């Protein structure tokens, strides 16, 4: 995906979050001290891409319905291979909104609820674990 995005393939446009450095990004809760944005050379010029954890972990843009569908497809692939437990690592950072802390946003909760609803239909025995580093009562609020 990343290379196809960098090459400018239309299918991968908006798969990642492009934004210019700005003061509003200082509100973002960070688990690490590495830069929030990483500069990449693309076929359309230099772009700053959101990288919450590190430059080799590029954040997906869940505002793009193609991204959401690809992730659902991936979850269903694992279920089709008999996965019984799916752990969503660092899920509290899924949704990005400039000017917010970008952690535990309501949109993230909605995405996780959608994943659970889909699994309840196709594989209700599948356990979905949200790794959020918050107290249990806050963690289960995702469901």
Residue 92 gets the label, from left (phi > 0), alpha (psi -120 to 50) or beta, of alpha
> What end-to-end distance do the CA atoms of the chain give, in Å?
29
Extract the residue ranges of the chain whose pLDDT is less than 70. Answer: 139, 142
| Average pLDDT across the chain, whole number | 93
Helix (H) or strand (E) holding 130: strand 127-130
Which tokens sit at 2?
Answer: 């990343």
Active site residue 89: yes
For residue 138, the model assigns a pLDDT of 72
The catalytic position among 56, 89, 117, 138 is 89
- Report pLDDT digits (tens) over 47-73: 999 999 999 999 999 999 999 999 999
Orientation of helix 65-80 relative to helix 106-122, angle to 10°: 40
Provide the whole-model pTM.
Answer: 0.89
């Amino acid at each position: 995906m990343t290379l196809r995005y960098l090459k400018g393939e239309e299918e991968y446009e908006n798969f990642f979050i492009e934004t210019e450095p700005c003061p509003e990004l200082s509100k973002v809760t960070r688990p690490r001290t590495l830069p929030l944005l990483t500069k990449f050379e693309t076929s359309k010029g230099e772009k700053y891409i959101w990288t919450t954890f590190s430059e080799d972990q590029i954040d997906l843009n869940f505002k793009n319905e193609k991204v959401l569908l690809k992730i659902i497809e991936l979850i269903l692939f694992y279920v089709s291979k008999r996965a019984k437990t799916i752990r969503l690592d660092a899920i509290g950072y899924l949704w990005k909104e400039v000017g917010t802390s970008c952690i535990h946003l309501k949109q993230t909760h909605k995405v996780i609820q959608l994943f659970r609803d889909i699994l309840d239909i196709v594989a209700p025995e599948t356990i979905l674990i949200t790794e959020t580093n918050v107290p249990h009562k806050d963690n289960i609020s995702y469901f």
